[in-house]
Homo-oligomer: A and B are copies of this chain.
Amino acid sequence: MTRTAVIVAWEKFTDIDVYLAWDLLNRIRLRDKEWKVKIVGTEPIHSSLFGINQQMHGNIDECKYADVVLFTSGQTTRRLIKDKAYLDRFQLNPDKQIIASMCSGALLLAALGLLDGLTATTYPTAVKDLQAFGIEVEEKPLVTHGNIATAAGCLAAIDLVGWIAGKTHGTELMEEVVASVQPVGKGLACIY
């Protein structure tokens, strides 16, 4: 069964939040060849904060069909949460999809109404903007409610992708993915 995880990027995306998720989500493919990972945006190419010109693998209209949708981060999120035409393209369903965010990506989950009545975490510089949606912000690396997760602080991507892998493939693969990126002498176990 083909399943797809999409990483949502935009102009001036935070490099580490896109590429850490990209690598970690692709590690699931080492155990499940029908697992696909794509980086999607609104343009053929988006440039990162630090200047990587990243070709998109598709556009955000695909998010509604994806099994996992992960919003990344960057200052641009502050503009996108006010862009109704942009937000209208997602049409996400948290009953059927796993929906997650890194750092300020939580603002997009909030703008899409996905955090109504829930708590969440976000990057410190985005806390006030998230609270402005009426969301209670928790000072934690990872906050999950059902199929929705918010993570914050770049390395919390490990916890977040671990949680995603656990939801899609079970505890064993979750542990394998997390162990595969640990430092030597601190829990590293090779996955390839």
Q: Is A166 an interface residue (CB 8 A)?
A: no
What residues of B have a CB within 8 angstroms of the CB of A145 in the complex? none
**CB <8 Å contact, B15 and A16:** no
**Cβ contact within 8 Å between B20 and A183:** no
Do B183 and A153 touch across chains, with their CB atoms under 8 A apart?
Answer: yes
* Interface size band for A: 35 or more
Asked if A186 and B153 make an inter-chain contact with CB atoms under 8 angstroms apart, the answer reads yes
Chain B positions within 8 Å of A184 at CB level = 121-124, 139-141, 152-153, 156
Question: Which chain B residues border A123 with CB–CB below 8 Å?
Answer: 184, 190
Interface residues of A in 145-160 (CB under 8 A from B): 151-156, 158-159
A90 in contact (CB, < 8 A) = no
Asked whether, in the complex, the Cβ of A139 is within 8 Å of the Cβ of B50, the reply is no
Are A141 and B185 in contact (CB-based, < 8 A)?
yes
Q: Could you tell me the distance in whole angstroms from the C-beta of A158 to the nearest C-beta in chain B?
A: 8
Asked whether A153 and B181 contact (CB < 8 A) given A16-B20, A19-B19, the answer is yes
Please give, as numbers and ranges, the residues of chain B lying within 8 Å of A16 by CB-CB distance. 19-20, 23-24, 181
- B24, B50, B181: the one within 8 Å of A23 (CB): B50
